[in-house]
């Protein structure tokens, strides 16, 4: 039986270890900046619909320098409900990231994986407390704010009685603003959520932008609005926003 070949980094995430590779192969990997080009050794696919929360994932992948293969899964065409897609992701939602044939769902998990796998990009704080706070922010965006946008966008998913829809939308909007006020406090006086750009910034870009598309007036939230402007100036964001299916 041939021993399994594995490329990995040591515990400090610095030294490349090539298990069971021939010496010439080891030398080749050591010679290249494998850490920078790590993704060239992986097949990374992102199932994405422009405008959906997979936008945040896509931005983080580009911020990490990943050469990602985008598989458009358009919500407007209900692509996420097709039997082919449901076989890959029974949750029938985007984002879905597939790495070397293995699927991962949920923005919090995917963006944490991106940050851990491409540490040079520094997409999560290195201090363990701040790192936990960053994961806490992502959990909050995903489960404490995103659902209000969904209720405003599609009240029919939550209540069959169409007469109640205006009420649901008004409540969802008020709940979104209640949370946005907390983000405003968090971002006041800061450029990013932490002392440098992290996945939280990618994620909040979508949380803010999606509400703009819902027609919410966010101008009073000055720190959040300034964050959005800084985000729009980044190459990653411009590339993601411009990338549409042919
Ligand atoms: N908790 C998931 C939420 C994913 C989600 O709700 N995605 C939406 C797009 S923003 C979706 O695919 N909706 C399709 C549907 O509900 O039919 C995450 O954070 O990744």
Position 57 in a domain: no
Cβ-contact 110, 95 below 8 angstroms: yes
Q: How many domains does the chain have?
A: 2
Position 147 in a domain: yes
Position 235 in a domain: yes
Are 134 and 236 contained in the same domain?
Answer: yes
pTM listed for this prediction: 0.87
Query: Which residue from 56, 73, 74, 94 has its CB within 8 A of the most atoms of ligand 1, so it is best to mutate?
Result: 94
Nearest residue CA, atom 17 of ligand 1? 93
Cβ-contact 51, 213 below 8 angstroms: yes
Specify the 3-state DSSP secondary structure of 104.
Answer: strand
Indicate if the alpha-carbon torsion angle 183, 74, 82, 100 is positive or negative.
Answer: negative
Nearest residue CA, atom 13 of ligand 1? 93
Q: Rg (Cα) of the chain, in Å, rounded?
A: 20
Query: Which residue from 91, 92, 93, 139 has its CB within 8 A of the most atoms of ligand 1, so it is best to mutate?
Result: 93
CATH number for the domain that contains residue 162: 1.20.1050.10
Position 61 in a domain: no
Token pair 């968090």: residue = 186
DSSP letter string, 45-101 = EEEE-TTSTHHHHHHHHHHTT---EEEE--GGGTGGGSHHHHHH-TT--S-EEEETT
31: containing domain? 6-35
Encode the chain (246 residues) as per-residue pLDDT tens digits.
668 777 777 776 667 788 888 887 777 777 665 555 555 679 999 999 999 999 999 999 999 999 999 999 999 999 999 999 999 999 999 999 999 999 999 999 999 999 999 999 999 999 999 999 999 999 999 999 999 999 999 999 999 999 999 999 999 999 999 999 999 999 999 999 999 999 999 999 999 999 999 999 999 999 999 999 999 999 999 999 999 998
Position 92 in a domain: no
Position 12 in a domain: yes
Nearest residue CA, atom 20 of ligand 1? 106
Position 47 in a domain: no
Rounded-to-integer distance, Cα 224 and Cα 226, Å: 5
Position 211 in a domain: yes
Indicate if the alpha-carbon torsion angle 25, 28, 33, 39 is positive or negative.
Answer: negative
């Amino acid at each position: 039986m041939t021993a399994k070949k594995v490329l990995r980094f040591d515990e400090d995430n610095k030294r490349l270890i090539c298990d069971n590779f021939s010496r010439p192969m080891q030398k080749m990997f050591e010679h290249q900046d494998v850490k920078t080009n790590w993704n060239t050794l992986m097949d990374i696919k992102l199932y994405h619909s422009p405008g959906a929360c997979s936008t945040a994932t896509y931005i983080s992948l580009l911020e990490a320098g990943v050469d990602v293969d985008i598989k458009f899964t358009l919500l407007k065409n209900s692509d996420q409900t097709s039997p082919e897609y449901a076989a890959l992701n029974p949750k029938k939602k985007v984002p879905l990231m597939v790495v070397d044939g293995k699927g991962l769902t949920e923005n919090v998990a995917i963006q944490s994986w991106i940050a851990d796998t491409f540490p040079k990009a520094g997409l999560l704080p290195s201090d363990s407390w701040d790192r936990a706070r960053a994961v806490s922010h992502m959990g909050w965006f995903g489960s404490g704010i995103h659902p209000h946008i969904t209720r405003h966008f599609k009240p029919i998913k939550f209540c069959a009685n169409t007469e109640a829809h205006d009420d649901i939308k008004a409540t969802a909007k008020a709940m979104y603003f209640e949370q946005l006020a907390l983000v405003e406090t968090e971002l006041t006086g800061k450029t990013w959520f932490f002392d440098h750009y992290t996945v939280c910034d990618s994620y909040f870009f979508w949380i803010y932008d999606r509400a703009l598309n819902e027609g919410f007036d966010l101008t009073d939230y000055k720190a959040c609005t300034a964050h959005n402007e800084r985000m729009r100036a980044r190459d990653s964001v411009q590339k993601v926003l411009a990338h549409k299916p042919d």
